[in-house]
Structure 1
Amino acid sequence: MTDLLYSVEAANLNAHLFRITLTIAKPQAIQTVSLPVWIPGSYLVREFSKNLQNLTAQQGRRTAAIHQRDKCTWDIACKPGQPLVLSYEVYAFDNSVRTAWLDSQRGFFNGTSVCLRVHGQEDAPHQLQLIAVKSQPDWQAATGLAPVKTDKKGFGLYQAQNYDELVDCPVELGAFWSGSFVACGVPHRFVVAGALPSFDGERLLANTQKICEAAIRFWHGPGKAAGKKTPHKNYLFMLNAVHDGYGGLEHRNSTALICKRSDLPRPNGPKNSEGYTTLLGLISHEYFHTWNVKQLRPDAFARYDYSQENFTQLLWFFEGFTSYYDDILLRRAGLIDDTTYLQLLGKTIAQVQQTPGRHVQSVAQASFDAWVKYYRQDENTPNATVSYYTKGSLVALCLDLKLRREFKNDSITLDTVMRGLWQRCKAGPMREQDLLDELHARTDRSWQAEIRAWVHGTQELPLRELLEAHDIQMDDEASPMAQRLGLRVAEGAGSVQVKAVLRGSAAETAGMAAGDEWLGLDVGTKGQGGSWRLSKLDELPALMGQERVLTAWVARDKRLLRLRLTIPALLSQWCLKAPTSRASGQWPGP
């Protein structure tokens, strides 16, 4: 038996309570334990201890005294030589990939939400006991942890080498669908909770297998031995299908995903709906993280500090470059064509161009500020910050296109740089200088000017120049009305709700503000065009005719305001089209 054993029981499904019993065989005289305040991969202090309750401590028949040191840390006074048994409950009602969930239909948890860290023994082996739920005989259990002794349904004893591994292997519980496949010799399992009966599991498995094979070959080459070089010997996908939701969180040999039920493939359904393509991109993104952030990781994450923020300026690389490759791997796996790939790329470009904050904050600063800005978005977010996902992916695009333009072959591309970084840094943390050194080693020139401008600066990226150099056609098309006005809105039930007003926009000049409800309009400077009720922004062109000035009626804090709004000239956004022919290596397709 290991010195550290966590027994997890679904104690009360309707009250959403897990009960955890932690046995510490060799406690210190004053044994300190704590619960993480954040989970790696999601850069926000979430205060998981708020859900912990009824903590008790026993040594045999003796109750040990507990002193709470701070919001998430406890000291227990122990007698030498006696095992310490801690018991506590965790409230689990967050149906996301980040924390824990429990009801009569499903259970799920990350170790950071339920497993106290035993200070001084973090590097010792840890074991996890999953107790079967008697009231739910059809439930199963799935986790990326190594089984020690488990039953056919997955309940029983699992082993982790240390605390980091324990909390990096989430657990799925329930009557889920399960399927498996082998990619380059590596076993993979896919479990899906909440799917409709019409769900096409075989298609999801086949498509995911192609993604995994493309990723493994990207990192380890096309040979038969590629699968023997992977950092994981098996892999688990856990997907929670819900009415409305999207997201994923990477782990060392698994990932937790959430998607809309309607995005899952259906027998005899469309080959690739927009929603299903988005889901495949999410799968590709999280799987790519197995290498890029879980193994090849920033120096700030060399050893996680679970008690506070772990700051790094490199999320533009670890999230942005992963975002660049997630769609490329779909293309290389044959799951989308050139047209769809360029549509996805064009959408990313539009998202960045419609963010005034790109002129305010560099993508390196955005990485560092993720803890207080990206994960705490409000109505001013698009004006003050830029996404390290989207702009970071465009930095990768520019770097890749520039490498391909300069060397005009497949021997020096961003692909080869990434593989070089893997060899250079897989045994240790990565710094920005490592990327610069790898680029210099492969090209015999400095790339500091590009990284300084693209990553640490706020000027526009040279997208048009580099795309046109690779014969990517860039037609302009009219932008949506919301973009012309500089608004982000929510429409529904005959109402236009203003969510954000972009800096320097026509809407800002008119005096619109987040929280306004746009009720209607008077057309023309004197209202000679009539007064109209507004239910959707796309109605404006028909209501206005040739007029370019209107009076907007908005409701703000129960007051009706009349705002003079001048509609700007038509704006255009890029529409990317593939060249009719291309030489090998011209642009990052298959």
Structure 2
Amino acid sequence: MNTSSIHFQLSFIEPQAHYVEVSMFIEGFSQPYIDLKMPVWTPGSYLIREFSKNVEQVTALSKDGEKLLVSKISKNTWRVYTNGHDFACSYRVYSFERSVRTNFVDDSHAFISPAGTFLYVDGQLSHASTVQVILPPQWSYVSTGLAQTEVGELVYYAEDFDILYDSPLEIGNQDIWHFQAAGIPHEFAMVGQGNYNKDQLTLDIQKIVAEETRIWGSNPNDRYVFITHNYQSAHGGLEHLNSTVLAASRNAYITNIGYNNFLSLVAHEYFHLWNVKRLRPKNLGPFDYEQENYTPLLWIFEGFTAYYDNLITRRCGFRNEVEYLNELVSEFNLVLNRPGHLLQSVGLSSFDTWIKQYRPDENSPNVSISYYNKGAMLACMIDISIIVGTNGEKCLDDVMGAAYERFYLMENRGIEEKEFQALAEEVTGVSLKEIFKAVYEITELDYNAYFNKVGYQFIDQNKLNQTSSLGIKVSHSDGRTTIKAVDRNSSAWEYGLNVDDEIIAVNGNRLDQQGRELDQAMTYSQVGDEVVILVARDGLMMEIPVKLKASEKVSYYIERNPEASEEERRLGDVWLSLG
């Protein structure tokens, strides 16, 4: 019986020049030509990234060494005229973009993002494949969630291309250690220098894994791999089926804030094992790798995860009550200080992620919000509603565990918003209609009313302090003060100050290199005063009189309500695991 196979080899002839060489061996396909395609995006990062732009020198040879015709027929498709013969396709991928979602190769290591590296045979995404890594002599290790075909061999197996594209590889001399968490083997691979403490990290991550496994009821892994890239300054991550890639600041591990933020990042990406990688929106899987995969549900799958990451650090004892509340309230302040919250709902934010979330510009705060922040806000309101409605017997954990069991373990399918809401109300007996309605509205919930029910209050400390504001953000560089953002409906917006205007003087006073005269003018001006701004716009000088309006910025904080009842305080202790 004729069986087909797809095998890749990765080698690194010129890593210092940022290239990975890829050979793809294809056997057992009888058609006269085969179309090889590269994804245009990678799951978990919702942006068309056009990975094919980095592919060079695509050639093909038959098994007998005959050169085959290769024709590029679209931006990400190469047609190989095989006449039914087995063949090898070779190409190079330029890899020099530092992120958790893109290839990076230099003389110290290689990070391989599979969607930007491996071509697939059109129509064969369900086909198994193997990947062999040819290590250059200066490198020693490979860290990946892919299963090895044989112990000690650097050949890895993926049962389909969804798994291959969800399994990044770190190749080099990374610092590797292993530990058990929730009964599952875990590997940690640290890339680059950092002031981390392996023993402390291991203990704290074990607590996170145990708590998250408790929430979901079971852990789906046979093994799990953390890949962390240490930079001078970085923070971010990307989830995968049984691994994650994190970016961290190398010197932040020894500060309380820096270390706790890293633990929140770990908690966030690990939570995705369940929330989005398995319990998922209906439209996110099976994936179409050639175009956008739209869903309005990222407010649940990213926003709920953003709510849980800091909450888990609170439950594990890494943050005290005040530290946690400060982290939580930052989600509210980030959303409510963006004029875009009056224009874009969180449901639309989820749907528009492909054109807005990963392509911010100077006007983004005026027209959009993040489903991470707003989703976390709504998750908090749902959690509080359930705790109050069940007298502290249940919380959002119960909904997440039940959804995972029903929609993934039992039915193995994606979900729609209406059935998630129905399940939540079924499991808890609590109506969540008001909150789910708010997903598609731009009016805000009465957040203080929710917090009051668990003995806290949500207060804007700017409410009684009317201060004047231009409504701009500036940068100081090379002795120049330049406008970088203008808030919708602010004084600057109304009177015509523009992004990229260089502010030369205010009220006839020339700005120094730090722009202190601008700060002084605003400090001593009142609402209704006029200031005259001299700007250089595209090389031309112009004076712009601006009548100052009141600042619309909020500064909320969450604290215990001194008038809370004993029962409200008890429910608050349940919410924050303070008992």
TM over 0.5: yes
Q: Structure 1: which amino acid aligns with 2:242?
A: N
CA distance in 2, matches of 1:301, 1:540: 48
Q: Which range moves more in the overlay, 276-285 or 341-350?
A: 276-285
Q: 2:538 aligns to what?
A: 557
2:514 is aligned with 1:535: yes
Q: 1:52 aligns to what?
A: 55
Q: Which range moves more in the overlay, 38-47 or 116-125?
A: 116-125
Partners of 1:408 and 1:586 within 8 A in 2: no
Q: Which range moves more in the overlay, 60-69 or 9-18?
A: 60-69
Which runs of 5 or more structure 1 residues have no equivalent in the other structure?
Answer: 221-228
Query: 1:572, CA displacement in angstroms?
Result: 4.5
Partners of 1:343 and 1:576 within 8 A in 2: yes
2:231 is aligned with 1:242: yes
CA distance in 2, matches of 1:489, 1:91: 36
CA distance in 2, matches of 1:443, 1:26: 54
2:570 is aligned with 1:583: yes
2:400 is aligned with 1:418: yes
Equivalence map 1:166-245=2 (5 Å): 166-196=164-194, 198-220=195-217, 229-245=218-234
Equivalence map 1:145-544=2 (5 Å): 145-149=146-150, 151=152, 156-196=154-194, 198-220=195-217, 229-263=218-252, 265-266=253-254, 270=255, 272=256, 274-411=257-394, 413-426=395-408, 427-444=412-429, 447-452=432-437, 454-478=438-462, 484-491=469-476, 495-522=480-507, 533=512, 535=514, 540=519, 544=523
Query: 1:490, CA displacement in angstroms?
Result: 3.3
Partners of 2:40 and 2:50 within 8 A in 1: yes
Query: 1:492, CA displacement in angstroms?
Result: 5.1
CA distance in 1, matches of 2:141, 2:469: 51
CA distance in 1, matches of 2:347, 2:358: 16
Partners of 2:282 and 2:415 within 8 A in 1: yes
Query: 1:173, CA displacement in angstroms?
Result: 1.4
Partners of 1:141 and 1:172 within 8 A in 2: yes
Pick aligned residue for 2:524 from 545, 550, 558: 545
TM-score w.r.t. structure 1 length? 0.89
CA distance in 2, matches of 1:289, 1:483: 43
CA distance in 2, matches of 1:448, 1:436: 8
Q: Structure 2: which amino acid aligns with 1:141?
A: V
Q: Structure 1: which amino acid aligns with 2:445?
A: L
The alignment yields a C-alpha RMSD, in angstroms, of: 2.5
| Compared CA separation, residues 149 and 420, structure 1 to 2 (3 A) | same
CA distance in 2, matches of 1:48, 1:167: 13
2:100 is aligned with 1:111: no
Partners of 2:209 and 2:270 within 8 A in 1: yes
Query: 1:194, CA displacement in angstroms?
Result: 1.5
Q: Structure 1: which amino acid aligns with 2:198?
A: G
Partners of 1:5 and 1:127 within 8 A in 2: yes
CA distance in 2, matches of 1:483, 1:566: 10
CA distance in 1, matches of 2:17, 2:76: 23
Q: Structure 1: which amino acid aligns with 2:540?
A: R
1:149-189 alpha-carbon deviations (Å, 9 max, x no partner): 353xxx61111111111111100112221222211111111
Which runs of 5 or more structure 2 residues have no equivalent in the other structure?
Answer: none
| Compared CA separation, residues 519 and 336, structure 1 to 2 (3 A) | farther
CA distance in 2, matches of 1:589, 1:381: 34
Query: 1:340, CA displacement in angstroms?
Result: 0.8
Query: 1:478, CA displacement in angstroms?
Result: 4.4
TM-score w.r.t. structure 2 length? 0.91
CA distance in 1, matches of 2:329, 2:486: 23
CA distance in 2, matches of 1:182, 1:314: 33
CA distance in 1, matches of 2:174, 2:264: 22
Query: 1:284, CA displacement in angstroms?
Result: 1.2
| Compared CA separation, residues 352 and 587, structure 1 to 2 (3 A) | farther
2:25 is aligned with 1:27: no
Pick aligned residue for 1:78 from 60, 67, 82: 82
Q: Percent identity?
A: 32
Q: Structure 2: which amino acid aligns with 1:432?
A: E
Q: Which range moves more in the overlay, 229-238 or 443-452?
A: 443-452
Query: 1:64, CA displacement in angstroms?
Result: 1.9
What is the count of residue pairs matched by the alignment? 561
Q: Which range moves more in the overlay, 440-449 or 52-61?
A: 440-449
CA distance in 2, matches of 1:292, 1:182: 22
| Compared CA separation, residues 244 and 545, structure 1 to 2 (3 A) | same
Query: 1:449, CA displacement in angstroms?
Result: 4.3
Q: 2:69 aligns to what?
A: 65
Query: 1:247, CA displacement in angstroms?
Result: 1.7
| Compared CA separation, residues 335 and 482, structure 1 to 2 (3 A) | farther
CA distance in 2, matches of 1:392, 1:170: 28
Q: Structure 2: which amino acid aligns with 1:195?
A: Q
Query: 1:578, CA displacement in angstroms?
Result: 4.1
Query: 1:376, CA displacement in angstroms?
Result: 1.3
